[in-house]
Chain A
């Protein structure tokens, strides 16, 4: 079995929700994604997308930021309120505040129009990857009063209350927690969590770190566990 076919088989079960108002783009994306072996659900606007998602939860949601009616940001936020599903936003430009605003609205990653199907496929695969801890790693990672169980994909306080986070946030936290006190550069985190090379967008890491802090830090403005190391990267201090 070639790696190509194994990937397609892997993806067979994955369902992609495409929220895009341009009918032609939507159809061509369905064809391209189906060609990669995904099942595709289409929605022409945000409301329709949310409604469809409630009935048929997808594994990845692809949301265009420029939508009629409810815009892509609002759609992201609404979807994030009801699910931890990985979200990829489709933006017009990569150097605008749109990207950061979209990430802050809950998106995990972004692609810029006009995108290449291969690039989109790579983004989807990276988000669908599972956390596979190395054999020698402990099954429970702890810091502060929090416990991280990679196997279960669970983050909870010592008293047992769950902390809700997205898959991407969880994977980012796992990377940091599995090398406590060690500085990880943004490039390393981009590679390990998002599958980007050296030239990936560092803002992905920054926005996710900010979001994680609001969930795991007692005072997110003065973090005690997830620290910024000036000019180098981030590190987790238990």
Chain B
């Protein structure tokens, strides 16, 4: 676009310069030639009238780049034989000789441009002709035209380069805005547009864009903080509740049956309330980006066995323990995990199985398919023999407070509604993934896959101190 503009502009400027210059040069040259021719004609007329021979006279007035001819009553005189009357255009000759009018004509002779000027001299009933070679002028003009042509091309090229640069420069902020918007949509709320380099128009855009993101960020953070604050505020009364209830539970034997039943109901729901507040705090930490993960190097088989055993202890006594099957291919693989979070993942998955799937039947540890340079990933699956999950529910169960359809309503009502959402959060913090599918036999299978190597291990044992 810019190149085209530059081409048109430079071409028209070049053409204008050329024709103007040409016109000026040519007319100047014509005028000068005319003047000279007139002077010469006058001089020739005088000399011829006086005495000297015509040829001598012509020799006197001739300049190096012109030829003079004299016609007197039909007879032609010329200084040299280079140029005769036949070399002067007929039209000019008849105009000057027959009509006694001074005239000039530009024409080409022997391939070079000439201007012939004819001046009638009445005193001798003749005419003076002078033919000027204007090859120099033509040469000058062609050099000039070539110069203009080259200048035109250079201008076009420069225009193209400059145009590209200028448009890039003026569009760069927009590209920046686009990138920033994508980053913000992707959750990087700290993204802002940088300095505009002093362009006031861009500064306005940048400022309003940044102000918008500020407000957006503030709003999102305020909402996340609100959840966090509410959960924090709930902790104090909850601590009192739990401690006092603990005292009551210690004296439950001495209570009347209705009071005892009331204490039992109270303690079940206070525990659930505590877990809910704990889960809310945990999830709000993820939302405010203040979750911290402390990774340790562990043997996946031992980790899973320990977690299953620890979780099983807290489940109702009559719950049969799930079998733990470790694929031999996993042995020797090490994982980097936050043990506290991993225990919560296992406990939430096992609790989920116990609430909706009639209890977990098997926990399997298998190699994942992500065995890249980052190390071997490991999958842990928890299976139950319950009704399973319809395909449409499989992604939704990881949503917060997702209740599912009527067939999956909680019975005892001891879940927090955040269990699987937290599983997804914990696994995400580890850089892993989680999904639900159908197990053999129709139950549900929840699988987590953890990467073999974390981005940055951050524990004391990983630092070492030079001693082995």
Contacts and interface: CB of A to CB of B under 8 A. Distances in A.
Interface of A: 22, 24-25, 27-29, 31-32, 35, 92-97, 113-118, 186, 197-199, 201-203, 206, 209-210, 222-223, 227-233, 237
23 contacts: A22-B236, A22-B240, A25-B239, A35-B250, A95-B293, A95-B294, A96-B292, A97-B292, A114-B274, A116-B242, A116-B271, A117-B246, A118-B246, A198-B310, A198-B339, A199-B306, A206-B459, A223-B467, A228-B461, A228-B463, A230-B462, A231-B334, A231-B461
Nearest to A202: B296
B307 interface: yes
A115 B459 CA distance: 26
B285 A114 contact: no
A50 to B, nearest CB: 23
B1 interface: no
A237 B465 CA distance: 14
Given A25-B236, A113-B235, A206-B459, A31 B340 contact: no
A117 B281 CA distance: 20
B343 interface: yes
Interface residues of B, number: 45
B306 A197 contact: yes
Given A198-B310, A223-B465, 9 more contacts: A28-B240, A93-B285, A95-B291, A116-B271, A118-B246, A197-B306, A197-B310, A206-B461, A228-B463
B72 interface: no
Interface in B223-250: 232, 235-244, 246-247, 250
A206 B468 CA distance: 17
B246 A32 contact: yes
Given A199-B307, A202-B296, A117 B242 contact: yes
A27 B241 CA distance: 11
Contacts of B302: 198
Interface of B: 232, 235-244, 246-247, 250, 271, 274, 277-278, 281, 285, 291-294, 296-297, 302-303, 306-307, 310, 334, 339-340, 343, 459-468
A230 B468 contact: yes
Contacts of B459: 202, 206
A113 B234 CA distance: 10
A35 B247 contact: yes
Given A198-B339, A231-B297, A28 B467 contact: no
Contact of A95 (B243, B244, B285): B285
Contacts of B466: 222
Nearest to A22: B236
A113 B464 CA distance: 33
A203 B294 contact: yes
Contact of A92 (B232, B334, B460): B232
A233 B340 CA distance: 18
B343 A199 contact: yes
A203 B464 CA distance: 15
Nearest to B347: A199
A28 B247 contact: yes
A118 B236 CA distance: 17
A197 B247 CA distance: 26
Nearest to A205: B460
Contacts of B277: 114
Q: Which 3 A-B pairs have the closest CB atoms?
A: A28-B243, A117-B246, A227-B467
B390 to A, nearest CB: 34
A114 B242 contact: yes
Q: Which of B239, B292, B464 has the most CB of A within 10 A?
A: B239
Nearest to B313: A197
B238 A114 contact: yes
B460 A199 contact: no
Nearest to B305: A198
Contacts of B241: 28
Q: Which of B247, B310, B334, B340 has the most CB of A within 10 A?
A: B247
Contact of B462 (A22, A24, A27, A231): A231
A24 B236 CA distance: 9
A233 B343 CA distance: 21
Contacts of A231: 297, 334, 461-462
A3 B215 CA distance: 61
